Amino acid sequence: DAGVTQSPTHLIKTRGQQVTLRCSPKSGHDTVSWYQQALGQGPQFIFQYYEEEERQRGNFPDRFSGHQFPNYSSELNVNALLLGDSALYLCASSSLAGLHIQETQYFGPGTRLLVL
């Protein structure tokens, strides 16, 4: 049973460029959340997707956008990259299973983005 997978593992971009990160959820999961983890910090919530719609958003600018596909996989897009966007981007998947209080988020290995 494959866990959460993310691609690519590493990425180097320059300021002003755009980037797309990809995530495939754990089998049986229908919800995907994205987090940004800066060096030495805990993960910060970017947004969550369920039924192909953004359900909740954290305190991130509109440069951060996402998408969820019918197969539940998801993309995170970041436009107009800044040096401060350098971080580990984590995808987490979960399943409502009818009772969201039972939800546990399972994380992928992350994509490390370096903006020069």
Partner 1 sequence: AQSVAQPEDQVNVAEGNPLTVKCTYSVSGNPYLFWYVQYPNRGLQFLLKYITGDNLVKGSYGFEAEFNKSQTSFHLKKPSALVSDSALYFCAVRGSGTYKYIFGTGTRLKVLA
Using CB under 8 A, pick the residue from 7, 18, 77, 102 that binds partner 1: 102
DSSP SS3 for 2: coil
In the bound state with partner 1, the residue whose beta carbon lies nearer, of 71 and 104, is 104
The site string for partner 1 over 35-74 (x = CB under 8 A, - otherwise) reads x----xxxxxx--x------xx-x----------------
Please answer whether residues 108 and 4 qualify as being in contact, where contact means their C-beta atoms are separated by less than 8 angstroms.
yes
Using CB under 8 A, pick the residue from 13, 20, 30, 106 that binds partner 1: 106
Distances (CA, A) of 40 to 36, 37, 44, 56, 59: 12, 8, 12, 25, 19
